[in-house]
Homo-oligomer: A and B are copies of this chain.
Amino acid sequence: MENQGKKNTSHTTVSRMVEDIIGCKWSLSVIEAVKNDIVRPGEIQRSIEGISTKVLNERFNKMLRYGIMKKTIYPEVPPRVEYKLTEFGKKFVVILNQIDQLQSEIE
């Protein structure tokens, strides 16, 4: 499970991911929700004003592709789905926060 990031992110550089994520308010909102332990798709969608299911799913897929988040499907009826930050994702978020901090210092 710790290697999920390794597998998924090998074709995109971290700096490009940073640029992509920082430039996308929906991605930032999804990360923010998951950081705040809002982890199920429905509750994530309700926590983000104005996000459509289509856009949310695109962002989830990007998070998985980049190795920032992992998706867990629990065998319940109906199946329960949760998104969590990977170990890579946690480090990635630290960098996002530092860039945000530095950005605020120059504005």
Could you tell me which A residues sit within 8 Å of B by CB distance? 5-6, 9-10, 13-16, 18-19, 22-23, 67, 88, 91-92, 94-95, 98-99, 102-103, 105-107
Contact = CB atoms under 8 A, between A and B. Distances in A.
Copies in the complex: 2
A28 to B, nearest CB: 11
B14 A106 contact: yes
Given A10-B107, A19-B16, A22-B15, A91 B95 contact: no
A102 B6 CA distance: 10
Contacts of A22: 13, 15
The 10 closest A-B pairs by CB, nearest first: A15-B22, A19-B19, A9-B106, A14-B103, A14-B99, A14-B102, A15-B19, A6-B106, A95-B98, A15-B18
